[in-house]
Structure 1
Amino acid sequence: MNRISKNSLRAVALACATLAASAQAGEVEVLHWWTSGGEAKAVGSLKATLQAKGHTWKDFAVAGGGGDSAMTVLKSRVVSGNAPAAAQIKGPSLQEWAAEGVLANMDDVAKAEQWDSLLPKVVSDIMKYKGNYIAAPVNVHRVNWLWANPEAFKKAGTKVPTNWDEFFVAAEALKKAGIVPVAHGGQNWQDFTTFEAVALGVGGTEFYKKALVQLDPATISSPTMEKVLTTFKKVKDYTDKNAPGRDWNLATAMVIKGEAGMQIMGDWAKGEFVAAGKVPGKDFVCVAAPGTAKAYTFNIDSFALFNQRDAEKTKARKDLAVAIMSTEFQETFSLNKGSIPVRLNMKMDKFDDCAKASSADFVATAKTGALVPSIAHGMAVNSAAEGAIKDAVSQYWNSDKMSAKDAMGKIALAAKTR
């Protein structure tokens, strides 16, 4: 984002004004990367809500790359003076876009809809730039989950772990029973997802905040970080040789089939179990990653709205923001996506046991300060630092010779990336 020239961005306002003059009144073009079955169905409900208010929905879906492809397209659209009305953007990237002056102030909608009272402060802060709302949150994914196959654990004669000592006892028992202990896909974001779970479970919430949100040099170089890295690397001993390059859903399939005992992955993994006809609490178990029962790493999807000059398009944009935060959409979307609503006052009657547990923990940790952003999923630090740290973590994971102290040095250096 920072590489976009100021001259190009100054042209955005004029170009958007020209575009708005020729666009259909009340049209909302929405850029997103929700293209799978459940996601597409959820987006359809949002589209229907806007159409019911008399607006025209123009779908702009860009599949692939977990949003990377969509962001590339978005940047080119903004530079060319043809920004969509709304775009799926999340985490610190919201502030980077807002700093360029291209996002709309949504305070009037937020105040009328009482967003400050409906969202945990740690969430609303991410949705704001210099105290003003510039995005509407859609849902919450809990990242620090451990998924387990109860039959595999029964066969191995061991129990689902609640801390890292128990984790390695269980892993050893699964290994002896001929079951892959940990289903993993050797991709850097999957390595990083495991790493942040270990950091939270071994180091605790305050350590996590200082090391992976504030990027505090002293904490990154501390004995606790060395213990985190040592524990993290030990996990790899219990993955299989075919892990490198494996997609996350194929790793989940290993747990579903009983080929593997457990997987550390966000709650999107639940969709794979449910799609396979499995029932939570019976065919699979969802528990907090070892040592993290009283903490919650979140990944929140959100929509930023771009400045519009046309009155009808501005009205449509505001109606979109209202619809996103409505109880109806929050429920429908998360039921399809496997996530939970971001609103704090939602009824969870229609949700499964995993989602109910996630919601209860979301509310509880919001009060205790243990609700923390996932660095592995773009919620904690700027994209440049995140990418550099992610690479350093994967280098350590994949190296037979790099020590934990060497890895600490690489992470410390990566944390300075801007």
Structure 2
Amino acid sequence: MKKFAVVAAMATAFLGSTAYAAELEVTHWWTSAGEAAAIAEFAKLFEEKTGNTWVDSALAGSGTGANPVIISRIIGGDPMGATQMNTGRDAEELIQAGLMRDLTPIVEEMGGLDFYVDDTLLEPCRYEGGLYCLPINIHSWDWLWLSTKAYETIGQPVPTDWNEYVASWPALEEAGILPFGLATGWPFSGIPGVLMAAIGGSDLLIAVNRDKDAEAVRSPEFREVAEALDDLRSVISPDTLVPTFGDVGNQLLEGTAAGNIHGDWLQGDLQVAGGVPGEDYECLPALGLGTQLSGGGDSFYFPVLPEGTDQAVIDAQTELAKILVSPEGQLNFNLVKGSMPIRTDIDLSGANACMKKALDLLGNGLLPSGDFALSSDTQQQLQDLNTEFLDDDGITVDDYIERYASIIEQAD
């Protein structure tokens, strides 16, 4: 763990203050360069405004590796002061067990949450009349990232949609450029959902994720999605995988890889690396095919602390909750993170070209992401299937479809 420097010795008159400085441990899985820079904005603001100390506990492995550690600590009676998790059903059982703090009194003190751009973001946080988390951004997986340099090398314009991108693969391969850059592990797991939304369409995504309709998985529309995924794995080989999605970002800037499907948090790393959208890379929301994005993101939860915990620490939880959704916190964090803010009342004139594209689509409503609609167990089963499909060419499209349908049939 590391402690961000305490910038102010005394708490300022902002959001209340504790009698004396408290240490608040915060767990999260933001470990890439762009993510670390973004979370540091929250830490800095928390320390400046309250005089408390943010004790940073970053966990490697994104949600798949960090979630079990977070959940185990809370269940085991060693809770952190606050934790980031995906906005969705990941913390469902912890809430039901009474292990998460009800934030309703804090919300009432703030005067409500009418500033949220989409009230559906709060649905996974609600349970039996209480509110147990605060979404702090809107992330979407639904982006195609393209390398300007790679297309300059082959003398073609940067594609404007998925179909043009696929058509460019032979020329890229002939020039020795990877058509698709990919990191090992979890990054592949989000790609099928992106293809489902963009190629299969919003009706298909809703039928599968929200309605859990297995027959929709067996439909011609889903077959198109599976065939696109099959085409994609044909240009990916194990020896070209890189360790992290940040490394893929570097490939795009260098022009050694031409494209990547990844969430909008990639642009945080691209920005840290000096990349400029429209110059060094292009970003196509909904793969350039759709008019809606699937929306998920991150939320902060505040575990119920053990009996006897100093009141100053509990007060620090309250202060952090307010800071996370404050106009200043939202602006500082999301401009660095690359995600869309949850507030409608902040000045986003400083947003880069990619965020502005996302904001333009936000008015069309958000599609339900798998994080929102599917349990952690179902998400893990689908991730295992997608990873196996990538690794084993012996799994046919028919096999993939039927196994996917079987998982959705049993989903809760």
TM-score range, shorter chain: 0.7 to 0.9
2 CA distance for matches of 1:151 and 1:84?
44
Give the aligned partner of residue 319 of structure 2: 319
2 CA distance for matches of 1:126 and 1:85?
20
User: Comparing 204-213 with 272-281, which one deviates more in the overlay?
Assistant: 272-281
Partner of 1:93, secondary structure, is coil
How far 1:67 moved relative to its partner? 3.8
Correspondence for 1:385 among 373, 378, 387: 378
Q: Structure 2 unaligned runs (5+)? A: 1-19
1 CA distance for matches of 2:189 and 2:223?
16
> Given that residues 153 and 160 in structure 1 are in contact (C-alpha distance below 8 angstroms), is that contact kept between their aligned partners in structure 2?
yes
Partner of 1:167, secondary structure, is helix
2 CA distance for matches of 1:58 and 1:241?
40
Partner of 1:290, secondary structure, is helix
How far 1:291 moved relative to its partner? 5.0
How far 1:176 moved relative to its partner? 3.7
Give the aligned partner of residue 260 of structure 1: 257
Partner of 1:34, secondary structure, is coil
Correspondence for 2:178 among 177, 180, 190: 180
| 1:62 maps to 2:58 | yes
Give the aligned partner of residue 42 of structure 2: 46
Partner of 1:115, secondary structure, is coil
1 CA distance for matches of 2:164 and 2:248?
22
Correspondence for 1:228 among 211, 225, 228: 225
How far 1:296 moved relative to its partner? 0.9
CA deviation vs aligned residue, 1:177-209 (integer Å, no higher than 9, x gap): 44222222353x222222112111111112112
| Distance 1:410-1:275 versus aligned 2 partners, 3 A rule | same
Correspondence for 2:367 among 372, 382, 389: 372
2 CA distance for matches of 1:323 and 1:104?
17
Partner of 2:221, secondary structure, is helix
1 CA distance for matches of 2:248 and 2:241?
11
How far 1:347 moved relative to its partner? 1.5
Give the aligned partner of residue 138 of structure 2: 140
2 CA distance for matches of 1:86 and 1:170?
46
AA partner of residue 411 (structure 1) = Y
| Distance 1:242-1:380 versus aligned 2 partners, 3 A rule | farther
Give the aligned partner of residue 7 of structure 1: none
Give the aligned partner of residue 83 of structure 1: 79
Partner of 2:138, secondary structure, is strand
How far 1:303 moved relative to its partner? 0.7
How far 1:106 moved relative to its partner? 1.4
> Given that residues 142 and 194 in structure 2 are in contact (C-alpha distance below 8 angstroms), is that contact kept between their aligned partners in structure 1?
yes
2 CA distance for matches of 1:401 and 1:244?
20
User: Comparing 251-260 with 28-37, which one deviates more in the overlay?
Assistant: 28-37
How far 1:233 moved relative to its partner? 0.6
How far 1:64 moved relative to its partner? 0.6
Structure 1 length-normalised TM: 0.83
How far 1:385 moved relative to its partner? 0.6
AA partner of residue 232 (structure 2) = V
Give the aligned partner of residue 7 of structure 2: none
| 1:345 maps to 2:345 | yes
AA partner of residue 102 (structure 1) = L
| Distance 1:230-1:186 versus aligned 2 partners, 3 A rule | farther
CA deviation vs aligned residue, 1:322-349 (integer Å, no higher than 9, x gap): 1100011111112332323222332212
User: Comparing 225-234 with 168-177, which one deviates more in the overlay?
Assistant: 168-177
Give the aligned partner of residue 269 of structure 1: 266
| Distance 1:221-1:291 versus aligned 2 partners, 3 A rule | farther
| 1:205 maps to 2:202 | yes
Partner of 2:168, secondary structure, is helix
AA partner of residue 214 (structure 2) = P
How far 1:143 moved relative to its partner? 1.5
Percent of residue pairs identical: 26
User: Comparing 134-143 with 303-312, which one deviates more in the overlay?
Assistant: 303-312
> Given that residues 393 and 411 in structure 1 are in contact (C-alpha distance below 8 angstroms), is that contact kept between their aligned partners in structure 2?
no
Give the aligned partner of residue 4 of structure 1: none
Give the aligned partner of residue 17 of structure 1: none
| Distance 1:263-1:33 versus aligned 2 partners, 3 A rule | closer
CA deviation vs aligned residue, 1:19-71 (integer Å, no higher than 9, x gap): xxxxx885533222334555445444434444455463351403211144443
How far 1:172 moved relative to its partner? 2.9
| Distance 1:311-1:240 versus aligned 2 partners, 3 A rule | closer
How far 1:211 moved relative to its partner? 1.3
Partner of 2:164, secondary structure, is helix
Give the aligned partner of residue 8 of structure 1: none
1 CA distance for matches of 2:229 and 2:173?
18
Q: Structure 1 unaligned runs (5+)? A: 1-23
How far 1:356 moved relative to its partner? 1.9
Give the aligned partner of residue 296 of structure 1: 293
RMSD: 2.8
Partner of 2:393, secondary structure, is coil
AA partner of residue 96 (structure 1) = E
> Given that residues 157 and 173 in structure 1 are in contact (C-alpha distance below 8 angstroms), is that contact kept between their aligned partners in structure 2?
no
Give the aligned partner of residue 219 of structure 1: 216
Structure 2 length-normalised TM: 0.84
> Given that residues 280 and 354 in structure 1 are in contact (C-alpha distance below 8 angstroms), is that contact kept between their aligned partners in structure 2?
yes
Give the aligned partner of residue 102 of structure 2: 105
Give the aligned partner of residue 413 of structure 1: 406
1 CA distance for matches of 2:26 and 2:149?
44
Partner of 1:306, secondary structure, is coil
2 CA distance for matches of 1:361 and 1:271?
20
Partner of 2:137, secondary structure, is strand
How far 1:243 moved relative to its partner? 3.1
